[in-house]
């Protein structure tokens, strides 16, 4: 599914149509008999071109089993369990790094800062960040401020 997504990004978007596809079918999804050619007519003003990844529709994602149901509520897209676990650890590392440098921070500022730092890798949901904050509180890396319940203190 991931290779389909990357391949489709190269021929579906008219702004970055790097590949041309010849197919007897009308579907946008690639099939085994499709022929792909480099678009020699393609020109870009920028030297390094960023090709935006397209989102696959739910009909093309075969979500069968627990891998399709994500506990972090990430918009209904199927994310493999291993990737989800890696993301949890990455979010926790970013949260600890931020809190280690700031020592004390309110919830909204921490979520905004973590989202900004993580946006280069993936787009985390506020629920995922909140879950990871709660997990760090349980593991005693963070604590809630006694005076203001929306503020966190770094402990470790």
Residue 28 main-chain phi, psi, to 5 deg: -80, -20
How far, in Å, CA of 58 to CA of 55, rounded? 9
Determine the 3-state secondary structure of 16 from DSSP.
helix
What is the phi-psi region of residue 75: left when phi exceeds 0, alpha when psi lies from -120 to 50, beta otherwise? left
Query: Which pLDDT value is given to residue 78?
Result: 66
Pick out the chain residues at pLDDT < 70: 1, 56-78
Determine the 3-state secondary structure of 75 from DSSP.
coil
**CATH fold of 81-154:** Arc Repressor Mutant, subunit A (1.10.10)
Q: What is the DSSP letter of 24?
A: S
Query: Which pLDDT value is given to residue 68?
Result: 39
Does this model's pTM top 0.95? My answer is no
Strand partners, 20: 37
How far, in Å, CA of 62 to CA of 83, rounded? 17
Treating both helix axes as pointing N-terminal to C-terminal, what angle do 107-118 and 126-138 enclose, rounded to 10 degrees? 110
Q: Give me the residue spans of the domains in the chain.
A: 1-59, 81-154
């Amino acid at each position: 599914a991931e290779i389909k997504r990357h391949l489709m990004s190269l021929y579906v978007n008219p702004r970055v149509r790097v590949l041309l596809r010849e197919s007897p079918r009308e579907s946008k999804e690639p099939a085994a008999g499709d022929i792909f050619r480099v678009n020699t007519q393609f020109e870009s003003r920028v030297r390094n071109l960023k090709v935006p990844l397209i989102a696959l529709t739910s009909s093309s994602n075969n979500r069968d089993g627990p891998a399709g149901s994500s506990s972090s509520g990430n918009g209904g897209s199927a994310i493999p369990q291993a990737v989800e676990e890696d993301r949890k650890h990455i979010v926790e590392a970013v949260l600890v790094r931020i809190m280690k440098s700031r020592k004390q921070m309110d919830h909204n500022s921490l979520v905004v800062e973590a989202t900004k730092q993580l946006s280069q890798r993936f787009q985390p949901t506020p629920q995922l960040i909140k879950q990871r904050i709660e997990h760090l509180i349980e593991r005693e890396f963070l604590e809630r401020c006694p005076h203001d319940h929306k503020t966190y203190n770094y402990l470790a």
